[in-house]
Each structure stands twice: as C-alpha cells, then as structure tokens.
Amino acid sequence: MSAITTSLEGTPVAWKLPYRGRVGMACLIIAESAIFTIFVVAYLFYVGKSLTGPTPREVLETPIFYTICLLSSSLTIHFAGKFLERGKRGVFLGLWLLTIVLGGLFMYGTGQEWHRLIYEHGLTISTNLFGTTYYSLVGLHAFHVTAGLVMLSIVLLFGLANRVGTEQFARVDVLSLYWHFVDVVWVIVFTVVYVLGR
C-alpha cells in the first residue's frame, strides 16, 4: 500500500502557532532560572554561617549606579526593538549600541567591586562560605551578561553591515527576551545579596 494522504474535512482554515524562536527562548529562560534558583538557595542557606572572615556587612557596597545602568539597558533594548519593527534602522542601531555600552558599564562596575573586595578586604572565593557563594552567584550572573553582550555585539556588527531589517525583528526580539531575563535575574541577585543577605 503506498502513501495515504490525510486530507480531512473539519480542519481549521486559519492555523497560527507561536513563533518557535520565542518558545525556544522561553524554555531556555526557564532552564536558566532553575540554575539561578539553586545558586540563590545556596546563598541564602549559607547566610551567617561562615566560620571566619569578612562578613557581607563589613565589605559590601551597594552598586546603585551600575544597577541603574543595567536596568536602563532593558529600556533601551526594548525601544531599539520597537524602532526596528518600524524600519527605523538608524535609531535601532543607536539604541542597540547604547544597550551594549550600559551592559559594558555594569561589567566594569562588577570588575571594580571584585578588585576592591579581593585586594582591599582579602575576600576571595576560597576565603569562607560568604566568599564562595557571593562570587559564584554574582559570577554566574556576570557570565550570562557577558554571553549576552557577545550576542548583542554580533547583532551590532550585522547591523552596521546593513543586514538587520524589519524581517529580522522576530529574532532580535527573541534576543532581547534573553537580555530582559538577565536584568530580572540581577534584580533578584541584588535583593538577595545586598538587601536580604546583609
């Protein structure tokens, strides 16, 4: 018996399913959230349990400025997308670059803070439980910011070569979903480390 084609009455005329890129990114975000949750749980579990060494209260300084940088980059990337959808490539590129700059500033701030913690206060990942959980959690987030910056830069390069237009909006939108996720994670990490953990 050769092939049967299955063409039946009663099938819908309009058949619109969610964009697979969006679904894929949503799944990635769910998986990454689970990883971050475990690191946050470990951080909270070990608050106050270090046997030695500097405590959060002694050494942490709340990074308000750099947090504002990172959170505003969510706004800039959102508007960049909106302009791209409307075909305003120039504005899109400008806002996209601004997003990268703001993210880069955040990374600079993290680096500066770590430098201070290591050289002025002697807090490293092996110093005590606070050091281990702090550098792991903030470091995991910083790693994700870096990965995001790399991807954003690739898109910037393509944009400068005039290859990013309205047709690419869906994919650019999926990437900004990732960037928003990175920012939401920072809100949580910030609360846990600089507010609750002190």
Which string of x and - marks every residue 16-45 that binds other proteins (by CB under 8 A)?
-xxxx--xx--xx-xxx-xx-xxx--x--x
Tokens (6 digits) for 75: 């706004």
Of 6 and 162, which has the nearer Cβ to other proteins?
6
Residue 129 engages other proteins in binding (rule: CB under 8 A): yes
Can you tell me the distance from the alpha carbon of 25 to that of 82, in angstroms, rounded to the nearest whole number?
A: 19
Residue 136 engages other proteins in binding (rule: CB under 8 A): yes
Can you tell me the distance from the alpha carbon of 130 to that of 115, in angstroms, rounded to the nearest whole number?
A: 16
Residue 154 engages other proteins in binding (rule: CB under 8 A): no
Q: Which of 146, 126, 145 is nearest to 136 (CA)?
A: 126
Of 136 and 166, which has the nearer Cβ to other proteins?
136
Smallest gap from residue 32 Cβ to other proteins (A): 7
Tokens (6 digits) for 13: 């005329």
Of 31 and 161, which has the nearer Cβ to other proteins?
31
Of 5 and 162, which has the nearer Cβ to other proteins?
5
Q: Choose, by CB under 8 A, the member of 4, 150, 161, 195 that binds other proteins.
A: 4
∠ CA 98-114-58, nearest 5°, is 125
DSSP 8-class letter at 168: G
How many of the other CB atoms lie within 10 Å of CB of 10?
Answer: 4
Can you tell me the distance from the alpha carbon of 37 to that of 140, in angstroms, rounded to the nearest whole number?
A: 12
Q: Choose, by CB under 8 A, the member of 61, 90, 126, 195 that binds other proteins.
A: 126
Where in 42-61 is the site for other proteins (CB under 8 A)?
A: 42, 45-46, 49-51
Q: Choose, by CB under 8 A, the member of 71, 140, 156, 188 that binds other proteins.
A: 140
CA-to-CA dists, residue 101 to 57, 97, 108, 137, angstroms? 30, 6, 10, 23
Residue 132 engages other proteins in binding (rule: CB under 8 A): yes
